[in-house]
Amino acid sequence: MKTIKNFALLVLMLFGTAIFAQQKTDEKPTIIFVHGVWADGSSWNHQITALQAQGYPVMSVQNQVASLAGDVAATKKAISLAKGKVILVGHSWGGVVITQAGNDPKVVGLVYIAALVPDLGESINSLSATGKPNDLGKYLVPVDGTLYLSEEGVKNAFAQDLPLAEQKFIYATQTPGAQIVFGEKSGEPAWKSKPSWYVVAKSDKSIDPDLKRRMAKRAQSKITEIEGSHVVMLSHPKEVLAVIEDAIKSLK
């Protein structure tokens, strides 16, 4: 009788271990979105609602864009709240942020959306200097050490493929960038040790598409090209979502 009980106990232990292992395998990663300058966390509304509908835990960081260290710290706080693995998704300046925050051991992948992907010691200014010039600078409005993007700038150089109502919304909800962030140097990049994906917005008037291709190739990212403006996640939400879903599937 004792032998039978021991055998039954062993079966229950093995069964429980198998269930636990399956639960760990099936655990969905947390997707953390990081917005860029002249945007906010609502930039990702389309992708957030779609992923939540699929059962994924999602967070959207609200950057102050006052310093690189500050925005990295905000992203790390979000990472600390995640229960398991994390995939970071960054747009524009958000690419600089996730390049640093991605060094956290919970982060398993990086998705760059029309983003900057710096190497050690590079900044927005130094990277931009290697690309073709654009008209974005003439639409910037300095206010007490920060740079706002004018309404005309949103229409002509930032979100030219969105309806007027959405352009006005972006202008109204933008987060201006502190002038210092454009010259801040990046630290050791996470993309050297983590897999990455990159969406090139082919009609981007804020960051040179060829510069984006070079950064993505340097990071050995899986590249997808979309005919969209700088805010391609808003103008082509399904296509951008598909790239994020590809990253999720690849990292299972």
**239 burial level (CB within 10 Å; 0-12, 13-18, 19+):** middle
pLDDT at residue 174 greater than cutoff 70 = yes
Number of H helices, E strands in the chain: 10, 9
CATH class of the domain at 29-250: alpha beta
**What element of type H or E holds 208?**
none
- How does pLDDT run across 74-126, given as a tens digit for each residue? 999 999 999 999 999 999 999 999 999 999 999 999 999 999 999 999 999 99
**CA distances (Å), origin 177, targets 38, 39, 147, 205, 211:** 7, 10, 5, 18, 21
Biggest CA–CA distance in the chain, Å, is 86
Mean pLDDT of the chain: 92
- Beta bridge partners of residue 34, listed in sequence order: 61, 90
Residue 60 and residue 46 in contact, taking contact as beta carbons nearer than 8 Å? no
pLDDT at residue 243 greater than cutoff 90 = yes
Distance CA 248, CA 252 (A): 7
Residue linked to tokens 């002038």: 179
Distance CA 93, CA 186 (A): 11
Distance of CA 127 to the CA centre of its chain: 18
In 129-163, which ranges are continuous DSSP H helix?
151-153
- How does pLDDT run across 31-46, given as a tens digit for each residue? 999 999 999 999 999 9
Query: Quick one: pLDDT at residue 252?
Result: 82
What residue spans define the domains of the chain?
Answer: 29-250
In the chain, pLDDT over 90 holds for what percent of residues?
A: 88
Residue 207 and residue 116 in contact, taking contact as beta carbons nearer than 8 Å? yes
